[in-house]
Amino acid sequence: MANQTLAILLPPSEGKASGGGKTFWNPADGQFGAALGTQRQLLVHALATAHGGDEKLLGVGGKHLATALQANSTLAAAPALPASSRYTGVVWDHLDLKSMPTADQRRAARSVFVISGLLGVVAAGEPTPEYRLKMGARLAGFGVLSSWWRNDLSNALNEVLAKRVVIDLLPNEHRAAWTPTPNRYREGVRVGFIERDGKVAGHDAKAAKGMLARHILTTGGDAIAALRTWRHHRFDLDIAELG
C-alpha cells in the first residue's frame, strides 16, 4: 500500500511566526478558498470591526494582546507564510518539517491539514496570515466558532478527504468543528495519547503529537502500520476508528 493518499489533521498553534514574504493572503486562497472564502471574509470583517478583539475573546494579555490586535486588525492583504512556517508551537516544532527530506516536505504540504478558528481548514503548504482566534472562542454574532464552522468546514474538508487514509490528531476543541464521514474515506482513525499510568495525556503530549506526525510522514507506505510501530518513552496511543 505504498501509494496511499494520506491526510493528517493537526491543530494550529497559539504561537505564530510574524510577518511574511512577498505573498499576501486572500480569504479565497488555497484549495479550500472557494468553499470557505466567504466565511473567512466574514470573520476578517468582524475582527476589523472589533479592532482585533479583546483580552476575553483572544485569551491573551499584555504585549501578546497588542500583537494579536495588530494582526487581527490588518488581515486584509496581510503578508502570508505557508501554514507550516506560520505555526510555531510545540506540535509544529517537533514535527519540524524544514528538516525533512524534500520528498517528505512535499508529502506533508499536500497531506497535513490544519483546523483553524480563522481559516476553517488550511493545508500545510498554503498561505496563512498572522492572526489569533481560537476555535473555541465565542465571537459576537457568530457564537462559538467550532459550532459556527461545523457544517461548512465539514463539507469542504470531507470532499478533500474522500478516498484518503485519514489520521485525526486533533484536540477536542478542534474536533468539535468537524463531522467525519468515514464511509467516504479509505480508512480513518482518531488517535489519543495515554500516559503509561492510564491517564489521558494533557499539554505534555503536544511534543509527542508532532513526533508522531513526523514519523508517519517519513515512514511512508502504510500510514496505519506506521502508527502501530511508533514508540514513545512516556505515552501509548489510543487508536479508534472514526465514527
Summarize pLDDT for 16-52 with one digit per residue, the tens.
999 998 889 999 999 999 999 999 999 999 999 999 9
Mean pLDDT, range 67-81, rounded to an integer: 94
Q: How many Å apart are CA 56 and CA 39, to the nearest integer? A: 22
At position 72, the amino acid (one-letter code) is N
Q: Cell digits for 155?
A: 463539507
Q: What is the pLDDT of residues 77-106, one digit of tens each?
A: 899 999 999 999 999 999 999 999 999 999
Q: Evaluate if residue 2 carries a pLDDT over 50.
A: no
The whole-number average pLDDT for the span 64-84 is 94
Check pLDDT > 90 for residue 74.
yes
Residue 152 included in any domain: yes
Model-wide pTM > 0.85: yes
Structural domain total, the chain: 1
Task: List Cβ neighbours of 93 (8 Å cut-off, separation of 6 or more).
Answer: 207, 210
Round to whole Å and give the CA distance between 163 and 177.
Answer: 21
pLDDT at residue 77, as a whole number = 86
Helix (H, G, I), strand (E, B) or coil at 16: strand
Give pLDDT, residue 200.
73
Cβ atoms of residues 165 and 188 within 8 Å:
yes
**Could you tell me if residue 170 is inside a domain?**
yes
Task: Give domain status of residue 224, yes or no.
Answer: yes
- Asked if pLDDT for residue 3 goes beyond 80, the answer is no
Q: pLDDT confidence of 4, banded at 50, 70, 90?
A: low
State the pLDDT confidence band at 203, using cuts at 50, 70 and 90.
confident
Question: What is 23-82 written as a DSSP string?
Answer: -B--TT-STTHHHHHHHHHHHHHHHHHTTT--HHHHT--HHHHHHHHHHHHT-TT-BEEE
Residue 70 lies in a domain: no
**Would residue 71 count as lying in a domain?**
no
Is residue 63 one of the residues assigned to a domain? no
How high is the pLDDT of residue 136?
97
Residue 123 bridge partners (DSSP): 113
In a domain, residue 232? The reply is: yes
Q: Is residue 136 part of a domain?
A: yes
What cell numbers appear for 18 in the block?
510574524
Per-residue model confidence (pLDDT) at position 102: 94
Q: Is the pLDDT of residue 201 over 80?
A: no
- Domain extent, residue 104, equals 6-21+81-241
